Amino acid sequence: MIRHIMVKPPKSSEVLMYGDQAKPASRAEIISFDEKGKPIVESGGVAGAGAVRASAPRPKPAPKPAPKPIEQAKPAAALKKPAPVAVKNPASAKEVSQALAVGAVGSMVDQMKAAAHAKGGMLSIQDIDAMQVEFAAKAKDMQAQLESAFVNYADARERMQFDQERDDPFYRLLVKSVSSHFKEQASRKTPSRRMLPGFFIAVDMLLGPDVVSNHQERCRSIIARLREESGDDSFDWDVFYAERDALTVSLDAQVLIAAQFKEYDRRMNWFLTIVNSNLAPIDSTMSEGEQRWELAEPGFRRFMDALLSSLRKVLSSDKGRERLVKRHGQENVAAALQVLKRLVTG
């Protein structure tokens, strides 16, 4: 029997490969014929099976450069202690907080700048960690400074509770006439600024809230006019004190206050009780005498005589007396004259 060997590519490939290996392998088929001449096909092996292509060895990756040794962080320079906070007005929350924030942040920024400059302009994590240790070491110093600032702020706020009332134009107008009598070395014979909170309370009770409110509005209108005339946002209180309309407001109040002391002894004792029960808080800057100060009769007479000084001057003339009688009535003016005499005689 004659055998013919034919090699032909397969119709399909079941293995997916890439590159040169993706070409389908040739399969060998043995074809023979039987006695009747019918071909007989026998499967053979894979042609070239013994020739296995060796894949090229993969190049070894280049070795990674050895990491540079981490430079040991130098200890940060000592953190500068923040400069004491100098606040012009310790009762201003905005100014206090701003000064503290700027001082603390500025100190840390300066520290970081100095460290970065020493290291060529860059800081590592280790450097920052080292600086954090320094910051923590100085935290107690900053805490003490903050506590001191907050205590001063709280004290100033207490003082402002009555200072704000004085800042009202009508109260400022009244206090102006007696401010020169407040002595640094206070005694029972002289008035003290510590009496102002009680004085404001007494004025409210003597005049009544409606009258006080009316006087406040009159003073504010005068201030608005003066500011408009000057064309300047700043304001000179001395110009306000000397303004004719402001003097009229002050005289109107003086007449009514003086008339309320017609029953002199009873009203004086009442006034002393009101003032001494509402003295301004003790300040660390006060002298020992001022801290123990209370208003007594001699100080009361000096205070009231100064408060009513403009009224005394106007009533000393017939023309002035007539003008006040038209505005406030004969009874109030007569009572005011009686009180002015009693302040002199005691």
What is the C-alpha separation between 338 and 264, in angstroms, rounded?
9
Residues of the chain with pLDDT under 50: 4-5, 7, 9, 11-19, 21-26, 45-55, 70-82, 84-92, 153-166
pTM of the model: 0.53
What is the C-alpha separation between 311 and 186, in angstroms, rounded?
26
Distances (CA, A) of 67 to 61, 64, 70, 72, 280: 17, 8, 8, 14, 71
* pLDDT tens-digit map of 244-275: 999 999 999 999 999 999 999 999 999 999 99
Q: What's the confidence (pLDDT) of residue 13?
A: 43
Q: Say which residue the tokens 């005498």 belong to.
A: 289
Q: What's the confidence (pLDDT) of residue 310?
A: 96
Are the C-beta atoms of residues 294 and 186 closer than 8 Å to each other? Answer: no
What is the C-alpha separation between 181 and 299, in angstroms, rounded?
10
Write down the domain spans for the chain.
3-10+20-46, 93-155, 168-345
* pLDDT tens-digit map of 88-105: 444 445 555 656 666 666
Q: What's the confidence (pLDDT) of residue 146?
A: 61
